[in-house]
Structure 1
Amino acid sequence: MNVTKNFLRDTWRLTKPYWFSEDRLRGRLLLAVILSMSLGLVYLNVLFNKWNNAFYDSLQNHDWKAFTHQLLVFGVLACIYIAVAVYQLYLQQMLQIRWRRWLTDTLMNRWLANRTYYVMQMRGGETDNPDQRIADDIDSFVSQTLTLTLGFLESTITLISFVGILWNLSGALSFTLAGVGVTVPGYMVWTALVYALVGSYLTMRVGRPLIRLNFDQQRYEADFRFSLVRFRESVEGVALYGGEQDESSIFKGRFDKVVSNWWAIMKRQKRLSWLTNGYAQAAVIFPILAAAPRYFSGAMELGGLMQTASAFGQVQGSLSWFVNAYSELASWRATVDRLTSFSHAMDEVREAQNGSGLTRDTADGDVLTLRELALALPDGGPMVEPVGLTLRKGESLLISGPSGTGKSTLLRAIAGLWPYATGAIHLPAGGRTLFLPQKPYLPMGDLRAVLSYPTPEGGFDDDALRAALADCGLERLAGLLDDERYWAQTLSPGEQQRLAFARMLLQKPDWLFLDEATSALDEDGEARLYALLRERLPDAAVVSVGHRSSLLPFHGQRITLRTAKLQPTIRPVERA
């Protein structure tokens, strides 16, 4: 019971915001029109039901005039029905894309805000493949929610509309049981109810495992697709290692999970299909058998028999909505579970960020201050003992120490990416900050956009772009600004780092943080870029993470990080 309650609450949390958003008026108007059309379709089905009586009576009575008249009536009703059904689907799709766009923007903004995407990736857990959840699961959720909700409402309206008709048509069934006369008024209604309840119960018992199977199928499909994308992004490394066989094993292993789970879905759906198809076929003849005694007794004409069978079908179909929609319900439940777990994970990240013992703020002045900044691992284990330092504009600091002592993590904490810390970080208000990681991010697009990133394309003129490339030793790329390539694979690691320095020259930051940003270059190339940095940005504060002693001449201070058991030491760089 609690599981169902929690599921309904989570579903409402996903559904509610759109209907109270800035797009609520258009969304509600579209929904109202669609519901009105559903009412219209139900009313047309009522008219079709009455038409059955008159049409089959004309056949039984060999009345040609009445027969042709009923054909004309049917043509008019059918044209109206088709037009309403077509525009109902069109407006439903219009509402679907509006809702999907709003929900995609909302979840994507939450995912990107405060580097939530980064912390989620670092934490791991059950929030696998957020790209699929945003791209595919939102689409499925909106489509299935509208389809199932409108289907349920239409079934409810149909039930209300036809149960009275069926009650009046079926009359009373009288029989003797153990010597006692029994009369069941509206017996066809009770028959339809029992028939639907039995079918719903059996469907739930047989189809329940599909919920988890569909959830797993979406995850396995996403994992398989992600492994292919990751391979595409790392083709050079795989080729150099000769790792094709190992990659093939990874692909096959992940695809085997897809196939194995798919077989489980097939077997379960086969059982469910036996039940639902048998149920549907029996429903064709069952109402005629149930009404046959009154027909053969002369209590109703052929038209009345067919109208009764039609009304029974509408009532039974409405009551059997759960049976007919169970497969889609199982898929929808899995989609909702994936989206709600994604939303919960983002909430947990926000709570972790808000509940962190780290204070990170800005203040007037040109000083960066770290006070008792202690880094920890995600599991709470200590990483580095508290660090304290003060850095002013124009000064430079080299962070060194053995691998694994938290050098890069210290920069992450300053950037606001690492919530597992205590202490305080006071950043200068104003001024531009730029972080250069060891592996630069190169977005898709032409070289002009790649070089300008994160400034929108057009923020720098072409002459400035070419000059920055030439200054950083990338003259050969100066004529390729319009070229669209997969630059992350086209350029060598050293060229990518040179390109990152060219970005720096364009951005002109006041506070620059370099995380082994020249590790792929030789020492001479590294020295030329650092000399260029100090020449072009003499007033910028520079913080570098590196292992090479060749970096010392370009920094005024040096901090050596140790493990959590040893205190970090800060001292001026000794000049030769």
Structure 2
Amino acid sequence: MNQNAEYSAVNDAVRGQFLRRTWAMITPYWRSEEKGRAWLLLAALIGLSLFSVAISVWINHWYKDFYNALEKKDTAAFWQLIGYFGAIAAVAILGAVYRLYLTQMLTIRWRAWLTEKHFARWLADKNYYQLEQGGYTDNPDQRISEDLNNFTSNTLGLGLGLLRNIVSLVSFSIILWGVSGSIEVFGFTIPGYMFWCALVYAGIGSWITHLIGRRLIGLSNQQQRFEADLRFSMVRVRENAESIALYNGVPNENQRLSARFGKVWRNFWDIMKVSKRLTFFTAGYEQIAIIFPFIVAAPRYFAGKIELGELMQINSAFGNVQGNFSWFISAYADLASWRATSDRLLSFHQAMSENEQRAPAIDVRPEGERLVVNDLGMDLADGRHLLTDADMTVEPGQRVMLSGRSGSGKSTLLRAMGHLWPAGHGSIRLPAARYLFLPQKPYLPIGTLKAALSYPQADSVYPPERYAQVLETCRLPHLVGRLDEANHWQRMLSPGEQQRLAFARALLFAPQWLYMDEATSAMDEEDEATLYQALIDELPGLSIVSVGHRSSLKRFHGRHVRIEGGRLQEQLVS
């Protein structure tokens, strides 16, 4: 599935049920083992949000008294109200600081919980591998790191902002209704007319804002994807710097990176165009909102029905009511970003769910003491058959070499044994014993050399002297003094050194069954012979299933099986 198809499918699936699916993504944290502290923090934030509304109401009443004191030139009242405002401001600052602090605390705790859950699900059942192979979703690293961060912060920010606006709307609507009076229009008396003016003004503004800015949701979604693709391409250059340099591939890579950035550029220009039109309207809307209440309330003031303080109170109350009604307008860009982030997380969840629900075509499970391949067929994504009706049994202690032409399915057979090949039929019964896979390109995690050697176990599992022993055995004596050095070993070591390090890892791990996929392809024959002999000598009774091309490997295997014409064929041992 390509990326455009993914987003089209996601949009079709999510449309009409977006809020339900997003709610299902929000609620687990609030029912989790952390729910006690989460609800306590949320209650404190709601309390502080309501307190901020109370401060706004407090200041609204202060406006009336303050401007009346100015109109009457009452010096004593003026200075008294200035001191009164200082007390209000001090309390407001304290509330704002702790509202921000507790919001950040709840955000990071929620993000940490979601991140751990996503890590566990992404890594479980080899989801991380299948999603990459199938192309079901782009940049899962960005979705877990950046999108989860944006999702938690925006959800809390928008949710608390909406709550604050609703409470503020109710509070100031009551004030505005009380102070605005009524007006005669075509013989009809309209009570609380300033309230209705604010409602109509904000309603029209919200409708126009949505018409202008609705494209921002899709554009924001694409911008996040294009930015992530660009970052990934640059990481690829860093990871393959030596090969690119030797190929003199700079012009090609420059062209690729420029093409990636071109998508970022063009999409950002589209965002700029929409944002410009939206800002033209919202800026004008906000400027008109400053004078609109004065225009509407001025007739009553000039008629002497209200004083200057009441006019300013009406202006303040109208501004708050209109602003609360206009929350959709002011929050539109954040809502668009939140919707785009949620869509990406929902598509990620959907891809993982589909992968989890997909029943494995090849039945692979640990059982018994032998390796048994029964009626195995393996297919490529385009439907071509690699292997047909294959049967093979490997007894404990046997060493089997798999050979065949390139592309015949040797490595794919090992992937199937490792639960990594989805297409095909039949069954594989792996021995229920300690095993290890050695791929052609070893994985060396960034960290100490000791941690790279002991992977996938912790570096504290083995005694320090054992690390030195296996390095010496595997012809890596120059690395003994660097066991505690942290580095990017996959870049530091040559391919041959990496493969020798993988053999050292196997000697440390001491498996009963070892599956190797051209694990000596980067070594010379002398190193290859030394390392195979070390396995045989130090791990007596070790069972080996090994994929290889070199004839020099045959003497280390008592049994040879060749894949020819889609079938497993036993070969005579010479």
TM-score range, shorter chain: over 0.9
Structure 1 window deviating more from structure 2 (502-511 vs 450-459): it is 450-459
Moved more, 261-270 or 115-124: 261-270
1:362 Cα shift?
2.4
Find the partner of 2:503 among 501, 504, 516.
Answer: 501
Matched, 1:376 2:379: yes
Q: Are residues 1:391 and 2:394 paired?
A: yes
**Which residue type is aligned with residue 377 of structure 1?**
L
Aligned partner of 1:29 in structure 2 is 40
Closer, same or farther: CA 3–517 of 1 in aligned 2, 3 Å: closer
Of 510, 524, 528, 1:522 maps to 524
CA contact (8 A) 2:391 2:568 kept: no
**Residue 243 of structure 1 corresponds to which residue in structure 2?**
249
Q: Give the 5 Å matches for 1:248-259.
A: 248-259=254-265
The letter for the 1-side match of 2:180 is S
The amino acid that maps onto 1:432 is: R
Q: 1:550 to 1:232 in 2, by over 3 A?
A: same
1:2 to 1:185, Cα distance in 2 relative to 1, 3 A: farther
5+ residue gaps in structure 1?
A: none
Counterpart of 2:470 in 1: which secondary structure?
helix
Structure 2: state its 5+ residue gaps: 1-11
**Are 2:114 and 1:114 aligned?**
no
- The reply to whether residue 69 of structure 1 matches residue 69 of structure 2 is no
Name the TM-score, length of structure 2 as normaliser. Answer: 0.96
| CA deviations over 1:508-538 (Å, ceiling 9, x no partner) | 0111000000011122221221111111112
2:453 aligned to 427, 440, 451, which one?
A: 451
- C-alpha distance in 2, partners of 1:201/1:3? 23
Provide the residue aligned with 1:182 in structure 2.
188
Q: Map 1:340-379 onto structure 2 (within 5 A).
A: 340-352=346-358, 355-363=359-367, 365-379=368-382
2:3 corresponding residue in structure 1? none
Q: CA RMSD of the aligned region, Å? A: 1.5
The aligned counterpart of 1:141 is: 151
CA contact (8 A) 2:182 2:191 kept: yes
Distance in 2, matches of 1:567 and 1:463, equals: 46
User: What residue identity is the alignment partner of 2:23?
Assistant: W
Distance in 2 between residues matched to 1:230 and 1:100, nearest whole Å: 28
Q: Could you tell me which residue of structure 1 aligns to residue 19 of structure 2? A: 8
Task: Name the CA distance, whole Å, in 1 between partners of 2:540 and 2:395.
Answer: 12
CA separation in 1, counterparts of 2:390 and 2:35? 50
Letter in 2 for 1:332: W
In structure 1, the residue matched to 2:493 is: 491
Q: Map Cα deviations across residues 429-449 of structure 1 (whole Å, 9 max, x no partner).
A: 2x3210000000011012111
Q: Are residues 1:199 and 2:205 paired?
A: yes
Query: 1:10: Cα distance to partner?
Result: 2.1
1:223 corresponds to 2:229: yes
Equivalent residue in structure 2 for 1:557, among 559, 562, 566:
559
In 2, Cα distance between the equivalents of 1:49 and 1:2? Answer: 47
Corresponding residue number in structure 2 for 1:261: 267
The answer as to whether partners of 1:123 and 1:378 remain within 8 angstroms in 2 is: no
1:434, 1:243 → 2: CA distance?
36
Distance 1:64 1:402 in 2: 99
Question: Is the CA contact 2:199–2:325 (under 8 Å) kept in the aligned structure 1?
Answer: yes
> What is the aligned partner in structure 1 of residue 142 from structure 2?
132
Matched residue, 2:4: none
CA distance in 2: counterparts of 1:92 and 1:484, whole angstroms: 37
Correspondence 1:85-124 to 2 at 5 A = 85-124=96-135
1:424 and 2:393 matched = no
For residue 214 of structure 1, the aligned residue among 220, 224, 228 is: 220
The answer to whether the Cα contact below 8 Å between 1:366 and 1:428 also exists between their aligned partners in 2 is yes
Q: Distance in 1 between matches of 2:428 and 2:150?
A: 43
How many residue pairs are counted as aligned between the two chains?
A: 563
**Who is 2:413 aligned against?**
410
Q: Which whole-Å deviations, capped at 9, do the CAs of 1:446-482 have from their partners, x for residues lacking one?
A: 2111112111122222221111111111111111112
Q: Among 144, 168, 185, which residue is 1:158 paired with?
A: 168
Percent of aligned pairs with the same amino acid: 49
Tell me the distance in 1 between the aligned counterparts of 2:380 and 2:54.
Answer: 64
For residue 573 of structure 2, what is the aligned residue in structure 1?
574
CA drift at 1:379: 4.8
**Residues of 2 paired with 1:447 and 1:357: CA distance?**
38
Aligned to 2:9: none
2:8 maps to: none
Flag the 1:385–1:394 CA change in 2: closer, same or farther, 3 A. same
Amino acid at match of 1:530: Y
> Following TM superposition, by how much is the alpha carbon of 1:4 offset from its aligned partner in structure 2, in angstroms?
4.7
Once the 2 structures are TM-superposed, how far is the Cα of residue 112 of structure 1 from its aligned partner? 0.2
Taking the aligned partners of 2:353 and 2:211, their CA distance within structure 1 comes to 34
SS in 2 for 1:518: coil
1:404 is paired with a residue whose SS is coil
2:338 maps to 1:332: yes
Amino acid at match of 2:106: L
Alpha-carbon distance change, 295 to 2 in structure 1, aligned in 2, over 3 angstroms: farther
The answer to whether the 8 A contact 1:398-1:545 is kept is: yes
Measure, in 1, the Cα distance between the counterparts of 2:248 and 2:19.
51
C-alpha distance in 1, partners of 2:431/2:141? Answer: 35
Q: Distance in 2 between matches of 1:489 and 1:356?
A: 35
Determine whether 1:44 maps to 2:46: no
Q: 1:558 Cα deviation (Å)?
A: 2.1
Residue identity in the other structure for 1:137: D
Moved more, 217-226 or 456-465: 456-465
Deviations 1:346-389 (A, max 9, x none): 1111111xx223222223x4212121121122355432112222
Residues of 1 paired with 2:14 and 2:455: CA distance? 46
How far apart are the structure 2 equivalents of 1:76 and 1:567?
86
Matched to 1:526, the amino acid is E
